[in-house]
Amino acid sequence: GNPSSLHAFGREAARALEESRATLAKVLNCEAGEIVFTSGGTESDNLALLGVAALAKTKRVITTAIEHPAVLKTCDYLEANGFEVVRLPVDRYGIIRMADLERALSKEAAAVSVMHANNEVGSVQPIDAVAKLCASKGVPLHVDAVQSFGKLPIELSKAPISLLSVSSHKIHGPKGAGALFVRRGVKLSPRLLGGGHERGLRSGTENVSGIVGFAKAAEIARRNRVKNCRKMSLLRDRLAKRVLAANKGAWLNGPTGVKRLCNNANFSFPGIEGEALVLRLDAEGIAASTGSACSSKSLKPSHVLLAMGLTPVQAHGSLRLTLSRFTTAREIDYAAGKIAQVVKELGGFSNVSREEAMRRV
């Protein structure tokens, strides 16, 4: 039933919707009334940035050079419509410098948008410090937590974050469901107009089945987060060790240890074209990419790796692998072996010289 309907089917759907809202709020450590359900991370990011910008007196936003396209393209749109967009640089590990953010905040800003963890190289940003700095300047902070949700702790009752995006399918929930945390008191202009659903912020009949599945997946992810992340971290490090040992000259992009998402590995292979590597691995039953899965059909080099100081040639030779809580040691060893085999086979056919690819910044 439609949760907005008055009949029994509608009331049942409405109960399921509100129970799911309460569950997600418990996972995020916030109030149920601060959860706005959306179709996923992209919509949540758009609603956060465009919603704040529409009501802002200051036409200036701050973000980073390595955000997901859902944020970067939204910032491009704002820029085309008269906003100044400050894109903070990152270091060679994909992490922003707090001094750069502090300088950027020396002038007024409508909003700051910083991802919790990067989707391509797994770098974890110092979000608590970012949130405190933004709060001290009175600037709302939006955090894209789509990648980190279910893997890193998020304490919205403690961190002064104004807006936070999460998505269902990143935690093994149904595709097409997501949410935006909107802290009480933060004003947004809606992007979808209609029946005034979700406190008037997101019109359109809610995807009840998707949202119920999302809430259940969030509950499971929260309950098993520490155990699952410990397992994935060990497997991630096992993969990195074996891949780097078998492929001399290759390197791991991004940080190591706790500054990296537990399920992310991103390698560069000198002299190898990433697209060819991905296709060959696919034939061996290994799902990989050369960048974000949302844009990997593009032949452009990863904007994340370029921002970290790699050349276009080096960025084209990258390979991203993402683990899940279902990944096994046997699968890791199989993948490492096949990567070594395919890299060796492709080594003599690349149009890029190994010497050129090895020139790192």
Residues designated catalytic: 294
Q: Which residues contact 62 (CB under 8 A, 6 or more apart)?
A: 85, 86, 88, 101, 104, 105, 109, 111, 112, 113, 139
CB 113 within 8 A of CB 66: no
Nearest to 97 by CA among 68, 118, 71, 126: 126
In the numeric block, which tokens belong to residue 243? 């891949």
- Decide: 115 and 65 in contact? Cβ < 8 Å: no
CA distance 314 to 267: 10
CA dist 68 and 303 (Å) reads: 10
Task: Please report the sign of the dihedral spanned by the C-alpha atoms of residue 327, residue 328, residue 332, residue 334.
Answer: negative
Phi/psi at 210 (nearest 5 deg)? -65, -40
